[in-house]
Structure 1
Amino acid sequence: MKKLITLAFVALSALLVGCSESSTPQEGTHYKQLPANLSTFRLPVVTEVFSLNCGHCRKMESEIPKIEELTGESIGKVHVTFNESAQIGAMIYYAAEMQLGKKPSHTMMLDLFAATQMGDGATLGDKKAAIDRAFQNRSLVSPYDFNDEQQKQLFAAMQLADDITTKGEINSVPTFIVKGKYEVITPAHQDVESIANTINFLLTQP
């Protein structure tokens, strides 16, 4: 009987250790340290790196309010400029951010995703009209109607975003930067709760 009790305690201890390990995010699996400290860019504590042209980013946008609720953090945004289509998306996003003085609302983000990712049957004119509406419905100037000064501000914002993603060596989206030091490896997570768990863990790290 004593032997059985001892074995039970060993088994229980192993189970508890296993649960502890599985709930603690692992470096190299769930997150990694960035090659450069991006704190000098004064990013929000938790910042999503995304693209309006990315289907996975569009799905993630629907989860952002939940992640904010689970982490207690207002999540900032940085738009990538990987290629020509991403640069067009960045132009649209930063045209909104610079006029608002903050990140666009969740509702506007959904409208921008929908306009940018219209189906194959949509023409360039259709997409432009949808983008124009997303801005005009909020009393904002469409990026297609920017004057020279606004264009300069827009390109400066896009250059800053490019500097952030280049120095951080961000190669895939969507992802999250935490404290300017860590990148969440989103494909390693099964659901939004596990992503929030990793973010919460990184918030406690130096």
Structure 2
Amino acid sequence: MKKMIAILLLGMSTLLVGCSENSTPVEGKQYKALPTNLSVYRLPQVTEVFSLNCGHCKQMESQLPKLEKLINQSVGKVHVTFNEGAQIGAMIYYSAEMQLGKKPDHQMMLDLFSAVQMGDGATMAQKKGQIDNAFQSRGLVSPYDINEEQQNQLFQAMQIADDITTKGEINGVPTFIVNGKYEIITSGHESIEQIADTINYLIKQ
């Protein structure tokens, strides 16, 4: 009987050890070091890398206000230029950022996501109308109507974004860059709270 109790206690202690949570994020699971330090680009301490064409990025946008509260700061943005679709999305995003002098607010971002991701049933004219409205309703010039000087500014912003994602070897979105040195592995988290925990950990590194 004593031997059986000892075995049971040993089994229980093993289970307890197995269930104990290690709250410290693990490199390679929750985050990874970037191959190049991107601090030279003066990115905000926490920067989201995203695309207006990405459905997961649209879902993440709805969680960003909560994330910003959990990490106690505003999250910057960099739009990828992986392919033709992403480049068109980048032109739309940076047209807004350029005119505002800062990242668009949360509601404008949701409007831009909705316009770009209208679906296969929407015509090009309908998508353009939605994009025009997202800009013009805020007193901004539509990306389709910007002048030559604005086009030059836009292409410079897109080139910087391309440099950041290329040198950082960012291959998937949405993700976050922290301190210009780390990339969050979003698939290694189950909730926005867990992502916030990893970001807060990396901020201190």
**Aligned-residue offset at 1:120:** 1.3
CA distance in 1: counterparts of 2:20 and 2:159, whole angstroms = 44
TM-score (ref. length: structure 2): 0.92
CA distance in 2, matches of 1:75, 1:44: 7
Q: What is the match of residue 124 of structure 2?
A: 124
| 1:64 corresponds to | 64
RMSD (Å), alpha carbons? 2.0
Match in the other structure for 2:162: 162
Letter in 1 for 2:190: Q
- AA in 1 matched with 2:148: D
Q: CA deviation at 1:29?
A: 0.4
Q: How does 1:46-61 map to 2 (within 5 A)?
A: 46-61=46-61
Partner of 1:186: 186
Residue 152 of structure 2 aligns with which residue?
A: 152
What are the within-5 Å matches in structure 2 for residues 23-34 of structure 1? 23-34=23-34
Q: TM-score normalized by structure 1?
A: 0.92
1:100–1:12 Cα change, 3 Å:
farther
Which digits, 9 at most, give the CA deviation of each residue in 1:61-117, with x for residues without a partner? 000000000010210000000000000000000000010000000000000000000
In the alignment, residue 19 of structure 1 is paired with which amino acid?
S
Provide the residue aligned with 1:111 in structure 2: 111
Runs of 4+ deviating beyond 2 Å: 11-20
* Distance (whole Å) between structure 1 residues aligned to residue 168 and residue 100 of structure 2: 26
Q: Quick one: percent identity of the two aligned structures? A: 68
Q: Give the counterpart letter for 1:31 in structure 2.
A: Y
* Paired amino acid for 1:78: V
Matched residues in 2 for 1:135 and 1:71: separation?
A: 30
Q: Distance in 2 between matches of 1:155 and 1:163?
A: 12
1:74 to 2:74 alignment:
yes
Where in structure 2 are the equivalents of 1:186-205 lying within 5 Å? 186-205=186-205
User: What code does the residue aligned with 1:113 have?
Assistant: F
Tell me how many residue pairs correspond in the alignment: 201
Instruction: Write the distance in 2 (CA, Å) between the matches of 1:14 and 1:26.
Output: 22
Report the alpha carbon displacement of residue 19 of structure 1 after superposing the two structures with TM. Answer: 3.2
Instruction: Provide the C-alpha distance between the structure 2 equivalents of 1:24 and 1:131, rounded to a whole number of angstroms.
Output: 42
CA distance in 1, matches of 2:84, 2:61: 22
Tell me: CA distance 1:89–1:75, structure 2 relative to 1, closer, same or farther (3 Å).
same
The 2-side partners of 1:126 and 1:14 are apart by 58
